[in-house]
Structure 1
């Protein structure tokens, strides 16, 4: 069923907030963007998606043409991550088959212990279920001002700079994902209830460590944000997450051997 006009406009505002919450330190201009300007960007992007004819997959950028991609962690296959929130486990299947770099980044950060102790700084359930978003390293310090939460990313200790990963979305029927831009084709990994995806700023290649759980089917986000996994057990725990709740721990329980270029 198509969204009614008021629901669609509400969705654009919510998406704008998601983009603001996904800002990385490398995108200072986006960090200072107001929710209204982000919503406008989202509206433009959504309009383009619905009116632009789907482009040929063969013309899309591939990973070999993006500088630094070969050095990023990647997951060759699948892995299982168990994330514990307030003492209760959430089992996540991470899909490196269809999103190798996005999945690899997440598994690498889990293995580094980056998510342990971080909070969910943004949880939206009203007026309709949307997302539970966390993963900002700044949230580890309980003294961090609330207005700064949602602006941080993982700083690689080897380089001293924030790691950013390209937007990575694989269209159905394609041999490999499309990088660094949104798509109009239907993706393999969709924003179904329980999907796990990366937050980002207005810049496509700005995702770092922040992720979100989809609290409902959010098809209007498909093709715009990189889904890399889904909750297989513990959705009841996800549905109870409140803003400010912290991740006790996150552990890779299966598939760690599929991670390449990971480090600690």
Structure 2
């Protein structure tokens, strides 16, 4: 086992017990309400731990839904450039991550169906960090190529109301909808 994998394994074992979900308070021009997500610690333990850690630290609070494509998904979680309470600049939202290293892929046989939460990444399968997306509809082309980290259990009506972006790029015009407060649930 490589030193990097060994260190990651020890870090995961040393971390506190993983929570079972998130409560996301959303506000904006489109959506207002609560989304509840069940995190799949047994399917994607490192990704679920990362999201839990960032939420516990309050790093997801005030982060924009920066890429939202009708019939596909709503993406958020850029804690570096997506914080609307800081110097938010939509031109950079979606380019950042957290101050933690990228994660190795945890692909599974779970399908990207409506309400599934997946980890966003670059072309490199091992580049997921803090950003995630919620599916509006089924996206079979993502199956086995992106990490499934959870599923919405309440609040799909709120997800459905998130302000849509440009038809192809998903870029938001004007003020984006925002995760005002993200808390970890047991």
Determine which structure has greater relative contact order: mean sequence separation of CA pairs < 8 Å that are 6+ residues apart, divided by chain length. 2
1:134 corresponds to: 76
Structure 2: runs of 5+ lacking an equivalent? 164-171
Q: 1:235 to 1:79 in 2, by over 3 A?
A: same
CA distance in 2: counterparts of 1:207 and 1:250, whole angstroms: 19
Q: Of the two, which has the highest radius of gyration?
A: 1
TM-superposed CA distance for 1:78, in Å, is 6.0
Give CA deviations for 1:119-160 in whole Å, capped at 9, x if unaligned. Answer: 0000000xxx011001112111464432211111111xxxxx
Q: Which moved more, 1:72-81 or 1:228-237?
A: 72-81
1:200 correspondence with 2:121? yes
Map 1:238-253; keep pairs closer than 5 Å: 238-242=159-163, 243=172, 244-253=176-185
1:146 correspondence with 2:78? no
TM-superposed CA distance for 1:68, in Å, is 3.5
CA distance in 2: counterparts of 1:198 and 1:117, whole angstroms: 19
Match of 1:164 among 92, 99, 102: 102
Task: For residue 55 of structure 2, give the secondary structure of its aligned residue in structure 1.
Answer: helix
Native 8 Å contact 2:162 2:177 kept in 1: yes
Native 8 Å contact 1:75 1:103 kept in 2: no
CA distance in 2: counterparts of 1:63 and 1:198, whole angstroms: 24
Match of 1:113 among 58, 73, 80: 58
TM-superposed CA distance for 1:67, in Å, is 5.2
Task: For residue 239 of structure 1, give the secondary structure of its aligned residue in structure 2.
Answer: helix
CA distance in 2: counterparts of 1:103 and 1:77, whole angstroms: 8
Q: 1:241 to 1:220 in 2, by over 3 A?
A: same
Native 8 Å contact 2:43 2:149 kept in 1: yes
Structure 1: runs of 5+ lacking an equivalent? 1-61, 156-161, 171-186, 255-264
1:89 corresponds to: 34
TM-superposed CA distance for 1:99, in Å, is 1.1
Match of 2:69 among 119, 124, 146: 124
CA distance in 1: counterparts of 2:52 and 2:21, whole angstroms: 9
Native 8 Å contact 2:43 2:106 kept in 1: no
User: How many matched pairs?
Assistant: 167
TM-score of the superposed pair, with normalisation by structure 1: 0.58
2:169 corresponds to: none
CA distance in 2: counterparts of 1:143 and 1:154, whole angstroms: 16
Task: For residue 150 of structure 2, give the secondary structure of its aligned residue in structure 1.
Answer: strand
2:157 corresponds to: 236
1:66 corresponds to: 5
TM-superposed CA distance for 1:63, in Å, is 9.6
CA distance in 2: counterparts of 1:252 and 1:207, whole angstroms: 20
